């Protein structure tokens, strides 16, 4: 990562940065800024120190000479930080203590997180004397500033250790998050091409471990005539899986027909599936082919099969076992060479236990079981999906493709997506519509429920209570997020976090984060 790739202006948009500033400001009244590798302030208005937290620092920043001295201090500590990977404590010309934590990507030094405006307990009196002398020389008519000296934050050795640990912990998260999002964006086009060649099952998008496992399974079963039961939450794309199986099979030249079993009552569903003859019931003014007959040689997708009645399940079992059916009102037995794919978001095993679904039909449908992963289990795919939906909207609306800014993408990544891919597609379309003529969309355009859910779900840091507990809470969440992002690859995550694999395993055990196997 080159310095030009570091988007300093986006740092303040990150939740973790805002929380860092909030906590450090509340606990110690210390202000936090960024410097690039040359020591220039970045990501703050007009190069000025952002929001000094005490009257003395505000007065110094507002003064041209004082501001120049502050810049000199920032640059000096930045240069010194280049030669160390640990937090560096120094002292400004005015007498304040400063902390500089290096931002290192691999072997490349990118700048620092710079904090100042405090005093060290062991040298408190000496520093207060220096600050008082500076104020008397440069602000002779502002006696009220002298009174503020006793109100300055004084940090003990233990508190400076906590401050160092907190900033270092967040620096690691900043770099990991920034690199992850940046890499995801830069590889979208390359991965899209790869998906088109290797993972080109209809319009399915995904490169994550769960999706690769799904592709491998579909590879093995798509050319078979075996019945497949597709299970997954609403919005995961079960019909898309069914289409992928059909259009990658030897039946692809024949029809692919779909029926939502939950959309019809029992009588209408029977007519829809098996057909009827003229006069068989009121309104049957002519013979009608059922879907089993119309899809002969092709594929019939029974969506929401868990919503069928027990009587309908008997008839489905017959056609699956024998390949025969009888249209409503007829005595003629017809044959059908149809591959049946079924889908449900219900737990058929529980339904069988409660005698709400026939056990024999369940086993007949469940010859091959395909479970579609929820979006929250494959967050690696979110950037690809967003890009796909942005392109899809641009084509349908005949407009230029819009871009999602980093803050907005971060909120999308934090959301749990109970409505899965369908919910994401609707949200992206909403963002594009609300953006109007703008080329990019930001967090403000997101649905209120997503913004609020993101705030609640974001682990962040607690601003109240015990500091050690808050740090452990952040560490636990960073490890959990990293495990989910890397598909529970501990070796890869340990490398990202800059710790040994054994150390990571110890922390995983400490926080009881072992991946739970599906029951």
**Which pLDDT belongs to residue 10?**
60
* Cβ 374 vs Cβ 411: under 8 Å: no
More confident residue, 481 or 148: 148
Q: 98 - beta bridge partners?
A: 90, 116
110-124, 140-154, 374-388, 420-434: which has the highest mean pLDDT?
A: 420-434
The confidence band for 193, taking pLDDT boundaries of 50, 70 and 90, is very low
Instruction: Tell me the DSSP string of 37-105.
Output: TTS-EESSGGGPPSS-SSHHHHHHHHSHHHHHHHHHHHHHHHHHHTT-SS-EEEE-TTS-EEEEEEEEE
Instruction: Say yes or no to pLDDT of 49 above 60.
Output: no
Q: Is the pLDDT of residue 493 over 50?
A: yes
443 near 451, Cβ under 8 Å?
yes
- What pLDDT score does 348 carry? 94
Q: In this predicted model, which residue has the larger pLDDT, 70 or 420?
A: 420
Binning pLDDT at 50, 70 and 90, where does residue 461 land?
very low
Of the listed ranges 176-180, 415-419, 509-513, the least confidently predicted one is 176-180
The reported pLDDT for the residue numbered 326 is 93
Q: What is the mean pLDDT of residues 301-322?
A: 94
- Which has the minimum average pLDDT: 199-213, 274-288, 316-330? 199-213
* pTM exceeds 0.85, yes or no: no
- pLDDT in the model for residue 515: 64
Q: Could you tell me the pLDDT band of residue 172, with boundaries at 50, 70 and 90? A: confident
Give 104 or 324, the one with higher predicted confidence. 324
Question: Are residues 434 and 478 in contact, defined by beta-carbon separation less than 8 angstroms?
Answer: no
- What pLDDT, on the 0 to 100 scale, is given for residue 1? 47
Cα 27 to its chain centre, rounded Å, is 30
- Indicate the SS3 state at residue 218: helix
Cβ proximity of 301 and 239 under 8 Å:
yes
pLDDT tens-digit map of 220-275: 998 899 999 999 999 998 999 999 899 889 999 999 999 999 999 988 999 999 99
State which H helix or E strand residue 36 sits in. Answer: strand 31-36
pLDDT confidence bin for 440, thresholds 50/70/90: confident
Instruction: Specify the DSSP element, H or E, that contains 324.
Output: strand 324-325
How far apart are alpha carbons 513 and 40 in whole angstroms? 41
Would the pLDDT of 457 be above 60?
Answer: no
CB within 8 Å of 169: residues ≥ 6 apart: 471, 474, 475, 478
Specify the DSSP class assigned to residue 199: S
Q: How confident is the model at residue 202 (pLDDT cuts 50, 70, 90)?
A: very low
Tokens 């937090």 belong to 87
29-33, 46-50, 449-453, 488-492: the lowest-pLDDT one: 46-50
Sorting pLDDT into bands at 50, 70 and 90, what band is 164?
Answer: confident
| pLDDT, averaged across the chain | 83
Q: Give strand ranges (E) for 345-455.
A: 368-371, 403-404, 440-441
- Give residue 495's pLDDT band: very low, low, confident or very high (50, 70, 90): confident
The pLDDT of residue 200 is above 50: no
Higher pLDDT, 489 or 20: 489
| For the chain, percent of residues with pLDDT exceeding 90 | 37
Closest CA to 369 of 217, 239, 517: 217
C-beta separation of 343 from 238 below 8 A: yes
Cβ atoms of 274 and 290 closer than 8 Å: yes
pLDDT-derived band of residue 280, with 50, 70 and 90 as boundaries? confident
Tell me: pLDDT of 214 over 50. yes
333: left (phi over 0), alpha (psi -120 to 50) or beta: beta
| CB contact at 8 A, 229 and 366 | yes
- Cα separation, 388 vs 384, in Å, equals 6
Q: Which of 365-374, 418-427, 444-453, 496-505 shows the lowest per-residue confidence on average (mean pLDDT)?
A: 496-505
Weakest mean pLDDT among 89-103, 193-207, 375-389:
193-207
Q: Is 30 helix (H, G, I), strand (E, B) or coil?
A: coil
Give pLDDT, residue 325: 94
pLDDT score for 50? 46
Q: Is the pLDDT of residue 194 over 60?
A: no
| Predicted pLDDT at 81 | 86
Q: Distance (Å, rounded) from C-alpha 126 to C-alpha 149?
A: 12
Q: How far apart are CA 113 and CA 99, in angstroms?
A: 8
Identify which has the larger pLDDT, 363 or 442.
Answer: 363
Q: Cα–Cα distance between 192 and 388 in angstroms, integer?
A: 9
Q: Residue 347 pLDDT more than 60?
A: yes
Rounded-to-integer distance, Cα 343 and Cα 372, Å: 10
- Do residues 431 and 387 make contact, with C-beta atoms less than 8 angstroms apart? no
197 pLDDT band, cuts 50/70/90, is: very low
Instruction: Name the one residue in this structure whose structure tokens are 């993408």.
Output: 409
pLDDT at 370 over 80: yes
């Amino acid at each position: 990562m080159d310095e030009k790739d570091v988007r300093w202006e986006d740092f303040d948009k990150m939740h973790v940065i805002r929380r860092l500033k909030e906590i450090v400001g509340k606990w110690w009244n210390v202000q936090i800024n960024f410097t690039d590798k040359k020591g220039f302030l970045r990501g703050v208005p007009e190069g000025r120190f952002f929001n000094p937290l005490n009257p003395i620092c505000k007065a110094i920043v507002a003064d041209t000479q004082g501001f120049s001295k502050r810049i000199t201090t920032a640059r000096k500590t930045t240069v010194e930080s280049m030669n160390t990977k640990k937090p560096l404590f120094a002292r400004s010309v005015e007498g304040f203590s400063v902390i500089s934590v290096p931002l290192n990507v691999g072997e490349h030094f990118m700048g620092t997180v710079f904090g100042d405006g405090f005093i060290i307990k062991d040298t408190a009196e000496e520093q207060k004397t220096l600050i008082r002398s500076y104020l008397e020389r440069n602000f002779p008519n502002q006696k009220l500033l002298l009174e503020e000296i006793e109100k300055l934050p004084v940090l003990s050795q233990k508190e400076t250790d906590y401050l160092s640990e907190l900033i270092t912990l967040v620096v690691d998260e900043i770099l990991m998050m920034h690199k992850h999002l940046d890499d995801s964006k830069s590889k979208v086009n390359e991965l899209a091409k790869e998906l088109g060649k290797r993972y080109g099952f209809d319009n399915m998008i995904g490169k994550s471990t769960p999706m690769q496992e799904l592709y491998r399974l579909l590879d093995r079963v798509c050319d078979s005539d075996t019945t497949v039961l597709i299970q997954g939450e609403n919005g995961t794309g079960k019909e898309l899986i069914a289409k992928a199986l059909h259009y990658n099979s030897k039946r692809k030249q024949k029809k692919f027909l779909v029926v939502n079993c939950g959309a019809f009552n029992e009588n209408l569903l029977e007519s829809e599936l098996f057909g009827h003859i003229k006069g068989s019931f009121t309104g049957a003014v002519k013979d009608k082919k059922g879907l089993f007959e119309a899809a002969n040689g092709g594929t019939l997708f029974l969506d929401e099969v868990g919503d069928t009645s027990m009587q309908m399940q008997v008839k489905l079992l017959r056609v699956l076992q024998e390949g025969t059916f009888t249209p409503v009102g007829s005595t003629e037995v017809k044959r059908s060479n149809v591959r049946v794919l079924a889908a449900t978001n219900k737990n058929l095993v529980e339904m069988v236990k409660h005698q709400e679904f026939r056990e024999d039909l369940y086993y007949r449908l469940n010859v091959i079981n395909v479970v579609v992963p929820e979006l929250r289990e494959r967050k690696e795919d979110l950037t690809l999906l967003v890009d796909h939906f942005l392109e899809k909207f641009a084509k349908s609306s005949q407009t230029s493709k819009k871009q999602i800014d980093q803050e907005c993408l971060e909120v999308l990544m934090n959301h749990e997506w109970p409505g899965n891919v369908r919910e994401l597609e609707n949200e992206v379309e909403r963002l594009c519509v609300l953006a109007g003529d703008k080329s990019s969309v930001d967090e403000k355009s997101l649905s209120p429920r997503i913004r609020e859910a993101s705030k609640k779900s974001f682990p962040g840091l607690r601003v109240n209570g015990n500091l050690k507990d808050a740090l452990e809470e952040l560490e636990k969440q960073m490890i959990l997020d990293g495990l989910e992002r890397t598909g529970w690859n501990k070796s890869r995550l340990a490398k990202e976090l800059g710790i040994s694999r054994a150390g990571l395993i110890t922390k995983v055990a400490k926080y009881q984060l072992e991946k739970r196997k599906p029951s």
